[in-house]
Amino acid sequence: MNLFVAKAKNFLRALVRRDFISIMKFIVGIIVVLLFAVGAYGLFYAIFNYLKDVQDIGPLIADRTVSIGFLAFFLMLFISNAIGSITTIFRSSETEFLLTKPQPYTSVFSARFTDNLFYSSWATLIVGIPLILAYGRVYKIKAIFMPVLVSFGILPFVALPAYMGSALTILLFLVTKRVGFRKALTFFVLLCGVVVIFFVREGGAPALIMNIRGDIRLLNYYLQNLATASNPYLPNVWFLELLRSAKANSWGDVLFWASLLTSTALAFWVFLLIFARKYYFTAYLSSAESLGRKTKLTFNDPTKGLLWKILLGLPQDMKAIIIKDFRLFVRDSGQWGQFTLLVSLLLLYLVNLRLVPMNIRNEFWQTVISFTNFAFCGYILATLSVRFVFPSISMEGRSMWRILTSPMAVERMFWAKFMSAFAVFFTIAEIVAVVSNGMLAQSGFMMVLTASGILLMSVSLTSLSVGLGAIFPSFDSQNPARIASGGGGMIAALLSLAYVGLMVVLLALPAYKYSLYLIGQTGYPKTEIISSFLLVILLNILASYLPLKLGIRAIKRKDF
């Protein structure tokens, strides 16, 4: 039986056999996704509508924003597919089971590749499709073009980095057979870094020019660079040209760029199948040998380790949970490999801040730059918490019943998960915020505001991920990437991003009013500051308390 047909039947059977609670969770998930998509559409519509009214330069900035946004999507999809392939296509009990059946290796690879593509790409589609619809409405793209933009535009675009990431993972385990896993993984990380740097350098925007002082030649040069697409061989440029062609109502150009994206995706798929037919099973055996190699077991007393001493003052049961989670993280190459790549992207972000002008005097643009950086720091926290904190409860597996029946209170386990994640992610986000604010020459007021906001977001986002991880657990899976990409992870990601957006809006408005007050353009914004302060406190109390409370209740009621 075809594996795709079997998967479709299993999915439909699972939908029919769901109990009432599972059905309600599924409905809630659909509602959350729809609300987020509508909110994203409204946000993109407001941005594009504002830029449309900016004379001459507005539409150019809108197009460049779309290009850079899809370049970021491409890079994130490449990284997530490359790392997700390790745990989905290779290190998976389902893959091991399928390979024992009378199925061609390419069929098994295709089925597992499709799973990995879905788990790695759903978030991009939820954001990308509303972006296209908002762009189309603002620039009055005909409705007949929309199916073409989605089917022959964004879908092939999403598939391209997935092909590249999966091929790179096969190459990783082929190299592992020759040089060992650690050296191969180092090569893997470096190669991913080279790919990211290449795309950023070739597809990035020109440095902003905010202080031209009447030099019309310099302005024309900048506008020319802004209007001209980046490297014409990049997929994000092809997608941008497809949008421009639809905006110009040019069917010939639309068909050309849609055909270019689709044919390239099909060519990459054929190449990947040929590559997998020849090397996939060899790479799988290499992965089983390198990742499943037995080592001599050593039993070290955790009370004599450095981490135990650092956690001085915590109860012993909480220390044990934290040390156990730390050791599992270190032993899982997929976990710390993805963590390393994310940190590398943060460093790349800090390096590229040199393109932002430091001589802006306009209060509006100062506020925009400050809170764009603040929003990015919040996005970092949301990404890290959903990817690494949300699966933490599920990773206890079926042994959770032992914790529930032990003298250790469930609340203490939750606090242990919360404290370890909060300490790590708050430190990372705060360092990025302080360094980036320093590079952007922000005022002391903005630095204090950003630092305080990061503290609140660290508490709330960690609570959201821990609590929702208990409400939507997946104890049958030991693949953290797959757990984070499931239905519960989707809800956690969308709620986390919505929370970050609300925090940015609630803090940006009074900060902008206060900046105007400092230069004498308005009165002291007492009402805005008080109302914003109260709403921020209320939002963070709800985001911190409710998920943990509901998560603890859900775990206590669950049967194991």
| pLDDT tens, residue by residue, 110-123 | 988 998 888 888 87
Q: What is the DSSP letter of 558?
A: -
pLDDT for 215: 46
pLDDT for 218: 46
Greater model confidence, 384 or 256: 256
Q: Which of 273-282, 342-351, 439-448 is modeled with the greatest confidence?
A: 273-282
Q: Which two tokens stand for residue 330?
A: 């270190």
Q: Which of 62-71, 234-243, 486-495 is modeled with the greatest confidence?
A: 234-243
pLDDT for 149: 92
pLDDT over threshold 90, residue 198: no
Using the structure block, give the residue that is written with the tokens 């669950």: 558
Per-residue pLDDT band for 76 (boundaries 50, 70, 90) equals confident
Per-residue pLDDT band for 212 (boundaries 50, 70, 90) equals very low
Greater model confidence, 102 or 16: 102
Cα angle 183, 186, 191; round to 5: 125
pLDDT for 297: 47
Q: Which of 11-20, 99-108, 136-145, 327-336 is modeled with the greatest confidence?
A: 136-145
Q: Return mean pLDDT, the chain.
A: 79
Mean pLDDT over 125-139 rounds to: 90
pLDDT for 209: 44
Q: How far is CA 434 from the centre of its chain?
A: 22
Q: Which two tokens stand for residue 257?
A: 């760029």
Which residues have C-beta within 8 Å of that of residue 329, sequence separation ≥ 6? 335, 336, 388
- C-alpha 129/C-alpha 135 separation (Å) is 10
Give Dmax over CA atoms of the chain in angstroms.
Answer: 78
In this prediction, what percent of the chain has a pLDDT beyond 70? 78
For the CA atoms of the chain, what is the radius of gyration? Answer: 25
Greater model confidence, 224 or 428: 428
pLDDT for 253: 92
pLDDT over threshold 60, residue 559: yes
pLDDT for 214: 44
- C-alpha 2/C-alpha 20 separation (Å) is 31
pLDDT over threshold 70, residue 248: yes
- C-alpha 268/C-alpha 162 separation (Å) is 10
pLDDT over threshold 70, residue 514: yes
- C-alpha 107/C-alpha 105 separation (Å) is 5
For the ranges 118-127, 204-213, 369-378, the lowest mean pLDDT is seen at 204-213
pLDDT over threshold 70, residue 223: no
Mean pLDDT over 249-260 rounds to: 92
Q: What is the DSSP letter of 206?
A: P
Q: Which two tokens stand for residue 42?
A: 């409204």
* Amino acid found at 278: K
pLDDT over threshold 70, residue 364: no
Per-residue pLDDT band for 134 (boundaries 50, 70, 90) equals very high
* Amino acid found at 120: S
CB 130 within 8 A of CB 494: no
